[in-house]
Structure 1
């Protein structure tokens, strides 16, 4: 078994240079946004969390690969190539959503800071997209789950669920909408648990039950919950609540509720697709 040791060639590789660029740009974006102001809006907080976590993940990946620790991880725990590709995909989605949110909510003609942060966020997204593209085109890297179709669908499900949860508004004192929050919240940890279990291949093989059948149960629960939310949220959000004439996209509650409605149907479609493909066994799942 190869022991961990420092690898200068890894540190000076194009991949490490890309990681360094991601770290620098994300940190600068985080700092500029923090200095610019503290709106304490859920979208702003979400963006700050993304710009804070992404460089940490890139730094950890760089350190692990620099000391060849990933070779030990591959032996004992999981497929490192699959994991890092999945993280790059998730970072691409998250930084893209930050760019859209910041451009919509915190930018104006005279807002120099807003424009600066948005441009920096675009660069962050581009860097992570480049890494994702490089990883997917590299034939030497494996794609066992996260980087393949099953895991990609799961990542999309988790991503859309996060967007829904940070967009929830106008639900207080309304029991049907409170139920919708439960319907949105429950599938997310189930999805994350499925992703983690499939990434940890060694642990997956040691389980006394079929993870595929458990995934099927999780998907059925998620689909049923999202069906209720798809009916209740638009019904009780827009009942007697037409779109106001003066409804700017960056501060209109009605528009945000519409975003939740739209994302609900998107995620319902993803879960239904995932369930169908899992049942048919054409997504890389081996039925047992």
Structure 2
């Protein structure tokens, strides 16, 4: 113990805009989980399980982040704390937005369900709190984002935040691929899956290296590596964004229109459309990332031990 004492608790964890955003995340997240488990429910289906997993995981991680920040114990972790927290806040924003859309679509109806109007009202309240929590996480991202003249970690820059969005979009693509997309029918569509996998893996490596504070440990300068990799990802996604629609929707290889006999929710054609749309979304994200990467100057950080 330090005989001179010291400020062991971080008042800014509560008495600051960032602290207020995290307290709001905790309050709204706790309200969502409590209402779902109490009366709103999620029916045990895959969509409901997904929403509940998002809410529980985000609430748990936010609790840990708030505790470590308030006690300053994050200084003992071998990570770049600022990069870690802003990356998580960006991911939580995307996950909460997704859950805030999926839950009301599948569980909120204008009429009262068989369980009564109380259940419907609780589900509406869950949706409202979930939207509020997504705004609270977005507020943390805005408060942590890089500003002129301020030295921050890479994940707080536009390029760093785009990495999180790219990874999230890639997960949406993988989900559609796993939902009966029939990508194994053609070698060209298998190539597209390889492209999605390689780019996602490389993006994940960039995020992990940045969060761990090891950006100065590579022989190839990290800023140069990021730019080269992003350029390669643009070229790969451009090829996949052209190849996938041709081999899925051209009459020679696939079906230009949705088959009338295709069941809703388990139609391969729908999954192919999702993959095609989000391929172009990720292509646009990588192009924007490449443009912003030209303006970044990295400050290499070593993890605190």
- Could you say which TM-score interval applies, normalised by the shorter chain? 0.7 to 0.9
Which of 180, 191, 198 is residue 170 of structure 1 equivalent to? Answer: 180
Q: Using the alignment, how far apart are the partners of 2:245 and 2:108 within structure 1?
A: 29
Higher relative contact order (CA 8 A, sep 6+): 2
Task: Tell me if the contact between 1:4 and 1:67 (Cα under 8 Å) persists in the aligned partners.
Answer: no
1:270 matched residue in structure 2: 285
Rate the CA distance shift 1:17–1:171 in 2: closer, same or farther, 3 A: same
1:40 matched residue in structure 2: 46
2:219 counterpart of 1:208:
yes
Task: Tell me if the contact between 1:135 and 1:141 (Cα under 8 Å) persists in the aligned partners.
Answer: no
| C-alpha distance after superposition, 1:67-87 (max 9, x if no partner) | 1123455xx642x33432332
> Structure 1 regions of 5+ residues with no counterpart?
none
> Structure 2 regions of 5+ residues with no counterpart?
114-119, 300-305
2:9 matched residue in structure 1: 7
2:192 counterpart of 1:180:
yes
Offset of residue 191 of structure 1: 0.5
2:133 matched residue in structure 1: 124
2:96 counterpart of 1:95:
yes
2:198 counterpart of 1:196:
no
Q: Using the alignment, how far apart are the partners of 1:174 and 1:104 within structure 2?
A: 32
CA RMSD of aligned residues (A): 3.6
Which of 68, 78, 86 is residue 72 of structure 2 equivalent to? Answer: 68
Offset of residue 134 of structure 1: 3.5
Q: Using the alignment, how far apart are the partners of 1:55 and 1:141 within structure 2?
A: 29
2:54 matched residue in structure 1: 50
Alignment of 1:249-260 (within 5 A): 254-260=269-275
Q: Using the alignment, how far apart are the partners of 1:251 and 1:20 within structure 2?
A: 40
Structure 1 length-normalised TM: 0.77
Aligned length: 277
Which of 156, 161, 173 is residue 170 of structure 2 equivalent to? Answer: 161
